[in-house]
Amino acid sequence: MTGKRDIPWLLASPGILLVTLVALLPAAILIVKAFQDVDTGALTLENFQAIFDSKIFGQAFWRTLRIAFFVTLVSVIGGYPLALLIARANPRYSLVIFVIVLFPLMVSVVVRTFGWVVILGPAGIVNEALMGIGLISEPLTMTQNEFGIVVGETHLLMPYMVLALLSVLRKLEPQLEEAALSLGANPLVAFFRVILPMTVPGLLSGVLLVFSLAITAFATPLVMGGARTPLLSTLVYRYALTSYDWASAAAVAFVLAVIAVAFVAVQKTVAWMWMSRHEF
């Protein structure tokens, strides 16, 4: 006979089963493959030794972190003004700006990425415009490199930063900034001394979302970076489906997962320390 305490577990069982089959089981298989010898099936660290000795892995590792850092930085710099504009604009204009900011999330990642290839390519709109006004004499290389990946990923991920910041900006009392301005602070000082400290929780959430998604992005780095600019995510694809080296692919994927988990742990620690010291 089922008791009342068992009812929540019974109701949640379909979701638990789905998460187990879709997320936990594949993750467990990945971990086993990463530490398993291909021939004997015994546990080993040779798979990690092989990728750590590989020059292309080292390049992909640091490139992944570098691109994720710049994407996050640009998203913060561009996301704050957009979030402030949406929070303070007239409701009608605020809605229009909000829809424009969210529009990239409504379009397929592949479509958006190929759109940037058309815009930034050698015969793209940007190069044609720069050559038309005489600033350059030959097309700039803005795709198949890190610059193209940063542009594509920033366009994809900045809305997440805006949403995270907007969630806290709309809760701020406008009287606080008005008080700072009335006491002699200029708008820049008021932003850094009043608005910024109170929006740090939203900023940390946005950084977590953008950085985590940036290091695991696949379609944009594959199209905008190409084979000459591999990231860890595209390196997994290369090992698994090009060279059929599943052991190395599992090892790289495990390293990528460790990076993501480590960053989440660091972000949560920083957020906890900030909240414990600043009680608003």
Q: Residue 184 sits in a domain of what CATH number?
A: 1.10.3720.10
Q: Decide if pLDDT at 77 tops 90.
A: yes
Looking at 48-52, 55-59, 169-173, which range is the least confident one? 169-173
Q: Decide if pLDDT at 1 tops 60.
A: no
Looking at 17-21, 113-117, 234-238, which range is the least confident one? 17-21
What's the pLDDT at 3? 56
Higher pLDDT: 31 or 207? It is: 207
Q: Decide if pLDDT at 243 tops 80.
A: yes
> CB within 8 A of 110, min separation 6: which ones?
219, 223
Is 47 within a domain? no
What's the pLDDT at 59? 93
Going by C-alpha positions, the residue among 104, 69, 80 that lies closest to residue 162 is 80
Helices (H), ranges, 89-199: 91-102, 109-120, 125-132, 146-169, 174-182, 187-190, 196-198
Q: Decide if pLDDT at 60 tops 90.
A: yes
Residue 168: domain span: 54-277
Span 134-161, mean pLDDT? 91
Is 15 within a domain? no
Is 206 within a domain? yes
What's the pLDDT at 207? 94
What's the pLDDT at 252? 94
Rounded to whole angstroms, the Cα distance separating 223 from 202 reads 31
Q: Decide if pLDDT at 7 tops 70.
A: no
Mean pLDDT score across all residues of the chain: 86
Q: Are 167 and 202 in contact (CB under 8 A)?
A: yes
Rounded to whole angstroms, the Cα distance separating 150 from 163 reads 20
Q: Decide if pLDDT at 8 tops 80.
A: no
Long-range contacts of 11-16 (CB under 8 A, 24+ apart): none
Is 176 within a domain? yes
pTM of the model: 0.87
Tallying the residues shown for the chain, one arrives at 280
Q: Which of 13-27, 34-48, 175-189, 253-267 has the highest mean pLDDT?
A: 253-267
Is 41 within a domain? no
What's the pLDDT at 51? 92
Beta carbons within 10 angstroms of residue 209's beta carbon: 19
Is 222 within a domain? yes
Span 45-60, mean pLDDT? 91
Is 29 within a domain? no
Beta carbons within 10 angstroms of residue 47's beta carbon: 23
What's the pLDDT at 70? 96
Residue 231 phi/psi, 5-degree rounding, is -110, 175
% of the chain surpassing 90 pLDDT: 34
Is 214 within a domain? yes
Higher pLDDT: 253 or 6? It is: 253
Number of independent structural domains in the chain? 1
Structure tokens at 226: 């190409």
